Amino acid sequence: MTATALVLRPHPVDPSVDHEIQAIAAGAASGSTCSTELAAGPWSFDDAPGYGPGASMGDVIPAGAPRQGDLPRAYREAPEAELHDRIRAAKSALGDRVVVLGHFYQRDEVVQHADHVGDSFQLANAAKAHPEAEAIVFCGVHFMAETADLLSGPEQAVILPNLAAGCSMADMADIDQVEECWEQLEDVLGPLDDADADGRVPVVPVTYMNSSAAIKGFVGRHGGIVCTSSNARTVLERAFARGRRVLFFPDQHLGRNTAKAMGVPLDRMPMWNPRKALGGSTADDLRDAQVVLWHGFCSVHRRFTVGQIDRARAEHPGVRVVVHPECPTEVVDAADEAGSTDHIRRAIEAATEPTTFAIGTEVNLVRRLAALHPQHTIFCLDPVVCPCSTMYRIHPGYLAWVLEELVAGRVVNRIAVDADVAAPARIALERMLAAKPGGTVREDVREDVRA
């Protein structure tokens, strides 16, 4: 897979989600936000416990999650227009020495400065495609910066402008919990790395890209593989070719939706809750399992409901409902189609007639798509403006700060994965790259998965 060109810069005259939140908070626009705190700069809530306002504000943040130190006052107090001028000037001074990457869910005020815009994997590849850059400024979240560090050169510094930009879903699978799960599964199923007479191991671990480098390293050490929301089915096919069961983490919904579409019955996908013995399942459930689903979820995509889809269909006859596979299964079932952010983008681009789209994914991406495709009617299924809390931690003030520090010869907020974790994590990523759709999965294995 190659790096993508920038395809989703915001239209300069369309109001951004940030500006709409400001207007709603000031009473100058109708509509509602999930928290009025969103109207404040992230430095106002970086020191408060929790993920901050937005979709993940109810999630439990791990005790050891990185915290961002104080952003210098000059950046906190600078007017927005000045910050944009300073970012442009710093980028111009740095030239090819820096590449700025912006995730699809990032706020427009930051995305407008990105050299590449994409999903986490596209951006990791974009980082790889710029060996000339001394620094890669990743305007996404922590696990994405780690992945960019895994795939970029050893001399390149990957920078996360705000260290508090984690991901609540990735944080739901911590390495100690996963090691403990593996040990408990061994107690039930026997040695997990030993193949049976058929050449298949009892369990293959599969982790979603949205996980820490430590989890990717664990997967790499145990013959497992990484997946994205674009290739989850291909990866699960490869995993079933190697093993009798899959342990899928951290997102239960992507795992369930993908396996269900492959024909795996729901009653053969027990949940693993790391706070319960045997994950809350019985030993028999685990022996009978085809996919063991980790109890993780994305708080952005969990907001979408069947009721929202029903309302969209009632108010917009003929509407096409497209949702992300991180949404709950009943939402995916009620939608017309489900797919990755890239799938959603392509579905809209491919529509030749004016179409009404109701989209189930993060609001910044939906608003940007609506601005880019005025021939269509495009709206977010969730009527409440509620961005990804952690992505929202990156503000132009942080971007201006890290870039001006680079101009001054200083690298701040570097994300570097330890070598002992990086080696197996890269193996798990390489296995994913080698997995091809419709590959050579034995027919008896396909039948076994469907059984």
**Hey, how many other C-beta atoms are within 10 angstroms of the C-beta on 253?**
22
The answer to whether residue 415 forms part of the interface with ligand SF4 (CB under 6 A) is no
Report whether 356 contacts 376 (CB < 8 A). yes
Q: How far is the CB of 110 from ligand SF4 (least distance, A)?
A: 14
Listed ranges 7-15, 192-200, 383-391, 405-413: which one lies at the site for ligand SF4 (CB under 6 A):
383-391
Feature table: binding site for iminosuccinate: 103, 120, 208-210, 229, 324-326, 341
- Residue 169 C-beta: closest distance to ligand SF4, Å: 4
Q: How far is the CB of 393 from ligand SF4 (least distance, A)?
A: 10
Inter-residue contact 211 to 254 (CB < 8 Å)? no
Binding flags for ligand SF4, 180-219, as an x/- string (CB under 6 A) = ------------------------------x---------
**Coil, helix or strand at residue 105:** coil
What is the size of the binding site for ligand SF4 (CB under 6 A)? 14
The interface with ligand SF4 within residues 146-185 (CB under 6 A) comprises 167-169
SS3 category, 437? coil
Task: Check residue 33 and report its DSSP letter.
Answer: B
Closer to ligand SF4 by CB, 244 or 393: give it: 393
- Interaction of residue 391 with ligand SF4, rule CB under 6 A: yes
Other beta carbons within 10 Å of 15: 16
Considering the complex, what minimum distance in angstroms separates the CB of residue 390 from ligand SF4?
5
Taking CB under 6 A as the criterion, the residue among 141, 380, 399, 422 binding ligand SF4 is: 141
Give rounded-to-5 percent helix, strand, coil for the chain. Answer: 45, 15, 40
> Which amino acid type is present at position 189?
L
8 Å CB contact between 1 and 121: yes
Among 238-246, 275-283, 286-294, 384-392, which window interacts with ligand SF4 (CB under 6 A)? 384-392
Alpha carbon distance 282, 53 (integer Å): 37
CB of 407 to ligand SF4, least distance (A): 29
Closer Cβ to ligand SF4, 208 or 240, answer by number: 208
Q: Residues comprising the binding site for [4Fe-4S] cluster?
A: 167, 298, 388
At closest approach, how far in Å is the CB of 194 from ligand SF4? 34
DSSP label at residue 101: E
Minimal CA–CA distance to 428: which of 249, 302, 184, 266?
Answer: 249
Name which of 276, 260, 396 is nearest 331 in CA terms: 260
Which residue is it, tokens 């008896």?
444
Positions 17 through 56 that interact with ligand SF4 (CB under 6 A): 56
Work out the number of other CB atoms within 10 angstroms of the CB of residue 295: 18
Between residues 188 and 359, which has the closer beta carbon with respect to ligand SF4?
Answer: 359
Contacts of 192 (CB under 8 A, 6+ apart): 182, 185, 186, 201, 202, 203, 222
The number of CA neighbours under 13 Å toward the Cβ of 154 is: 4
User: Among residue numbers 268 through 307, which ones bind ligand SF4 (CB under 6 A)?
Assistant: 298-300
- Least spacing, CB of residue 160 vs ligand SF4, in Å: 12
**Binding residues for ligand SF4 restricted to 49-78, rule: CB under 6 A:** 56
Closer residue to ligand SF4 (CB): 17 or 286? 17
Number of H helices, E strands in the chain: 19, 13
**Binding-site member from 105, 121, 357, 398 for ligand SF4 (CB under 6 A):** 105
81-86 contacts, C-beta under 8 A, 24 or more apart: 83/396, 83/397, 83/399, 83/400, 84/109, 84/112, 84/113, 84/396, 86/400, 86/403, 86/404
| 3 state SS of 378 | strand
Work out whether the CA dihedral 21, 103, 301, 164 comes out positive or negative. Answer: negative
> What is the nearest approach in angstroms of ligand SF4 to the Cβ of residue 37?
17
Q: Which is nearer to ligand SF4, 167 or 427 (CB)?
A: 167
Count other Cβ atoms within 10 Å, centred on residue 2: 9
Q: Which residue in 293, 388, 394, 402 binds ligand SF4 (CB under 6 A)?
A: 388
3-class secondary-structure state, position 89: helix
Least CB distance to ligand SF4 at residue 230 (A): 14
The minimum distance between CB 123 and ligand SF4, in angstroms, equals 12
Asked whether position 254 contacts ligand SF4 by CB under 6 A, the answer is no
The token duo for 259 is 């396996």
Site for ligand SF4 in 336-375 (CB under 6 A): 362
User: Per the annotation, where are the binding residues?
Assistant: 103, 120, 167, 208-210, 229, 298, 324-326, 341, 388
Site for ligand SF4, rule CB under 6 A: 56, 105, 141, 167-169, 210, 298-300, 362, 388, 390-391
